Structure 1
Amino acid sequence: MPAPRTYVDVHILHTVPPANLNRDDQGNPKEAYFGGVRRSRVSSQAWKRATRRHFTERLPEQDLATRTRRVAGALAERLRAGTALDADQSARLAGALLAPLKIRAGKKAGDTAYLLFSGRRQLETGAALVRDRAAELVALDDKALAAAMESLPIQEAFTSGHPLDVALFGRMVADLPALRVDAAVQVAHALSTHAVELEFDYFTAVDDEASKGQETGAGMIGTIGFNSATLYRYASVGLHQLRHNLDTDEDAVRGVQAFVSSFARSVPSGYGNSFAHRTLPSLVAVAVRSDQPVNLVSAFEDPVAPSAGIAAESARRLAREHSTAVRLWGDAPDHAAVCHAFDDDSPASGPLAGAFGAPVAFPQLLAGLGEHLGAVIARSAAPAAPDAR
């Protein structure tokens, strides 16, 4: 019986000072029209990468994945590390080992036609299939080597034991459905809750050596586009899909907690040295649902006015939108919690408590979420009650 559907919705309000988090094709911050006005936008891809980089810095390297066209080279490196093969021999053996997967070759020798997202342990498992026979295998001609590779479970090495980042964000290989991993996470484009205007920083750089003599003027002149915004950020994690992608239910619960923590704490690094824009959110709310993910961006279709106290008014509207959706549709979340930085006398505090409960510190939010998801899994594993008829 498949695991019951369980979605963990994450709602974040994040105020960012002047910054250029995510550039468009002209080097300016990405934007979008929403509610008839121009908004600041950060693409889902940019924040997913920032999230992945955040938790990869906190997990052992061998428990993570690598995204590369050079998967054959990565496999060859592992073969060389555990055998007496030279570079050419290890490259030939790695290519033969990957051949049964039928991954299309790229334009450069040794490259694949697309980026392949694979776990480092999966690469090591693949290398281990031939390491003990490496010298014997490289002595074979191409035809005999290909025949020997066909009998090895290389596909199983890449379709099991997924690391957390592959399990969360998925792997798409259009022409090889067997290698596809359905993502457990959906991430929306972050949008400002209010209208924004694109601004430009005009800068000059002084040539230190030229300035010692008679030469005057700047050594470099340029501009950087920027804006500042209170962003509404949303993501949803399908616990049922994550349980399917990972080895154990405990890994799935820890995976949800790791994602929520890193999604909340991460910030895209674009022009980070120029703007030092890293801040923490003013609000993080989670809602566990068994019906469907619910994005609350409609709270901000009417843009927040600059005079309203943008973060607090955005939080009040978010709480009102959540409560309205629950009242109209009758789909109350199974669990909700909120961590926020607003004072008790803020106009946002009462609505937030009514929508998500009393505020808690972020570590308590994560702990409570983990306990609830553990209980959900335990209930799904319990045997059904006998029919009383």
Structure 2
Amino acid sequence: MSATTRRPAAARRLAPLVTVGALLALPVLSGCTDNTRSANDGPSADPRALTVSASDTDCAVSGTQAPSGKLTFTVTNSGSKINEFYLLAGDGLRIVGEVENIGPGITRDLVLTAPAGSYFTACKPGMVGDGIRAPFTVAESGQAGATDANDGELVAAANANYASYVRDQTDQLLSKTEEFAAAYEAGDDAKARALYPVARTHWERIETVAESFGDLDPKMDLREADLEQGQRWTGWHRIEKDLWPQRAKGYKALSAAQRATFADDLVKNTKTLHARTRDMTFTVDQIANGSRGLLDEVATGKVTGEEEYWSRTDLYDFQANVDGARIGFEGLRPILASRDKALDTQLDARFSDLQTLLDQQKSGDGFKSYDAVSKSDIKALSDAVNALAEPLSKLTAAVS
């Protein structure tokens, strides 16, 4: 695959409707659950159950408003292109929830808890452009919509523990990024190459949280293949190419001044991400959706070997995404076990199966280069991801 091939995942985020400063509002993690009905079934009697017909030219939502609480958007792709569906905050930038990679004729659900406020719905046919958007209103209903009151202590513990986990990972991300940037600026390429996948591990473990800040994600994690015409390329992968230019024909190495510019920019944006996560809080549907979103990242970028095109360190990212998904799941297990023991047992087994395969790809303290992974092993990893994705897609509905 060439470096200019666009990845099939929703890596290129929707452009904002407006320019905003630092977003202090809580980003809700993305994700989806298995469908239970088609968008062609017509409107539901439940005002919180909406259908979406996503074609190549239209994004027809069955309603323009809903009561606050747990909402379900059943999205059917009636077009010929792979599609995505988003619920965006009123600023048009922050992603409240998303369901990705909806193939033609496929139906998938987005389940989330939405408080009263103004939003936008958006479909993104072909996974390019700004998306087909429309205003959407959530009216105050007095219903919190998340979990049974009898589970209050378990819910509070799960939410608090995940918030602590996110803060810990961003602490480590900032520390390792500063160390990586210093080595890169100093011209110590061997040290910078060694630190690159280690630092990125902390990004990948909370990738759905980081991506929910639509102004930061393109600056920090955009791949060259996903650049829009005229867009300035910055962040991890710009530096990655400079450290591993072997696959780039006629590549001209960055100057010391250019290195300093890109390294300083990466550290600055990491500090911004770090600051925004200090007071974040989460709900069980956000955690569950985040787990599914992280596994989607594995399926659409890591197992294909597209994410780390230059360094070939994809397995580090693969493991980190799985780590983050597993942490989210494990934090919700006390709630899930009391509601759907069979699903709890199935998810535990599928995570274990996938980890066994990943362990076989380890080399020393890290992982093999992705180029050294056999096609049969890649197929086995892909199959294990798919086997986990199906039950994981049911987690949000089970715990919300």
TM-score normalized by the length of structure 2:
0.25
| Higher relative helix content | 2
Higher alpha-carbon Rg: 1
TM-score normalized by the length of structure 1:
0.25
